[in-house]
Structure 1
Amino acid sequence: MPFRIAERRQDVFVQLIQRLRPIRGLPLWARYLSTAIIVLAFFGARFLQTEVQGSPFLLFLPSIVLSSFLFDRGSGFFATLFSTALAIYFFIEPRSSFMLQDIGSVLAEAVFFAVGLFTAAVIEALRTTVDALVASEESLGSSLSLLQGVIEGTPDPIFIKDREGRYVQANAVTARILGLPQERLRGRRDRDLMPEAVAAPIEAVDRAVMETRIPSVVEEMVIVAGQGPRCFLSTKAPWYGARGEVAGVIGIARDIHERKQADAELRAANAQKEVLLHDINHRVKNHLQSVISLLAMSKRRVKDEVAGAEIENAASRLSVLARVYDRLNVRDGERMATVSAREFLQGLCDEVGPVQIGLRPIALRTQIEDVALEAGTAVSLGLALNELLQNSLKYAFIDDTPGVVSVNFAKGENGEVWILEVADDGVGIPRACRHLR
């Protein structure tokens, strides 16, 4: 009760100073004229008293206080000077004169004058301090109102917990999610609102944030009133006290339950699509292998060498296409199916080379840089390599002549195109070289 009474008196004093603010905005002449009237009023009261005990200056002190309080420090100084002059002229011997006969009167006048100036200065400082405090309180109130508006207007739950995990502050969204009014939510812990199995991970993250002083972003399951468990993405950071100590944790969360379900459904659909795609590729590859086998059987039955060569060429081309399907790579998020150039071209060389070379003293050297090739490009490139490589191995070396066939795949000098080079040192021109860009 004493604290409330003192607080109420302080509020009245502050309100009085605020109400007198328009008076302090009067013109200078009006303030000084009003000050003179106040001093003359106290002078008249003093003059009408026939016998006054003590110093004649004391009855002028209220006029200085009142003038300083109503107007400003300048008015208080003016009231001090005017009161001193009136007291000397009318109440100190010899009267009707500004002469002072003894040292006591001089000291009394000096003390009164100093006290008057000091009083005016103190009242001015007090009023300035009150104005500054009121302005600061208004600014703080405006900032708090803005902050409260932002917190309450946010559609996401925002909360503050102390070191024991008790809710200190929470917006209306948080209270609605947890199923309690805001005033009843304060002082509660998560374990008081949710099952232990759900609350324990949440409280563990809160303790980790307070102990490490490192903000954390985690997914948490929360029991929402009337809906059951839902997934939230929570961002939590340490809440620091006035002395820099960790006083608790402050956090904001977002309901991502529907998004998590959509992501799970999308991942399941992608997995099913990938399985179907691999199955289709596998079936296509098997069909191609079947066709290749049928062509090989047909070749053995065909007596015409030209027809046999054409069948062999067709089987070789289908083999390239089957190899592309065998190494087809479809990544999640990519629009095109790709093939590793090094794996595909090197595999093609390893397949064609031994068959065509046989026991002849021919060396096959490869230098292939790796790059992801689109499936259609890989087919064209594989067909070209297959044709060039077979031509070199079949026709460049006559009568078991030794030699070297080199296959190079690298980026060109300008860095904009890739070059496939198949070269041999066999018969014909000194270096048979074919390029595909």
Structure 2
Amino acid sequence: MQYSLGIDLGTTTVAAALTDETKKVYPYKSTINLQYYEFGLDSVKRIQNGLDKNSVGKLQEKAVATINSLIDSFKSELGFGYEDIKEIVIAGNTVMEMAFCGYPLISLSKPPYKPSSEIFFPENTAYIPGLNIKNKKMFIFPVLDGFVGGDTVASIYYLDMINRAKPAFIADFGTNVEIALGYKDKIYTTSAPAGPAFEGGNIKFGTTASSDGAISEVNLENGIFKTKTVSGSRPSGICGSGIMSIVYELLKEGIIDENGRILPPEEIESENFNVIMKNEENGENEIVVYFDGKNAVKFFQDDLRQFQFAKSAVKSASEILLEKFKIFSYNDFDVFISGTFGSHIKTDIIDLIDIFPFKGKNIKAIESSVLNGCLKYILSARLEREKDIENIIKKSKNFPLSGSAIFQKHFIKNLIFQRLSL
């Protein structure tokens, strides 16, 4: 039996899909990107640690080791050999794809923040040192810009934007949030500098959705948070969807104000004010999300600020893209969210806490548009898929936001939280 492997090479999480010659698709697998343990969640840190050929080698080594661990997991489960994998298809952001191929990231560290024109993505695994799949076909999705990578191209390809009858909007929530909007001959893209909060990054009790005990959803009842974890085990941290769920409950109960301040109990009308605890050392108000008498999970003012910045970045980037596209001249458009964040959040909460500039849309969550795009590429006819990717590259126009005065204007405005009257 011959197999093909799709890889979503994320900054924080790397996911894999396997299919065989009968077109059977096996359950997806995912793991933490080993780069995370040395370089953190931040793409900027990856760039700073991969400016030349020598330093990028460590990033490449960690990415390859992460992919090898996923291959080994499938291999031990299904009993095949490395030689039985005939091809691998990879999609990631520009930093991840360049680092995987061993290209120095110096061009992404300074204006105009674009990949070097000299790079090419190899079509054989022989070019990737240490990869356990030797001398096999490889396809790496092409990038659109310095901060809009092959993962966005894979999402556009999966949604078949170039052949859709009406526009589609997709936001892929990762360490940054990459956004695409379009149909037929018109595809616009951008990257929202949201930071890692949507993946639990820069949050004191933050964690990834794949971690044991990650809180993915809460309900505030009788002064206590009822928590739900992805794994069903005891809460130990908060992943992106859990953070959004907490913010929603706090807004609903009037525990935080429009400026994102956690209010003291005396300013709160709700009877649920007793989830607030004052830190005696610094005097700040803290939110107790979980406490079992011994173990606690808390949400802090600084955590709320991180989410506030991320929320504003996504809404601002979306507004700019929608305005450029003149989307509101269309009668209708479809809205999708993707990423591990998107697969755990209730989509109506996204509407209520003002992540996007449109209301009342039926938001459809996709577990991984990137991995689905890799699978679609594997399972499609060669000439057809090559033509589709070529057309996506030709028809896509990117709008960089770095240093944009328009983005800053939108960003400041969108820091405000809307009041919830439920």
**TM-score (norm: length of structure 1):** 0.20
Q: Which has the higher helix share?
A: 1
**Whose strand fraction is larger, Structure 1's or Structure 2's?**
2
Return the index of the structure with the highest Cα Rg: 1
Larger RCO (alpha carbons 8 Å, 6+ apart): 2
TM-score by length of 2: 0.20
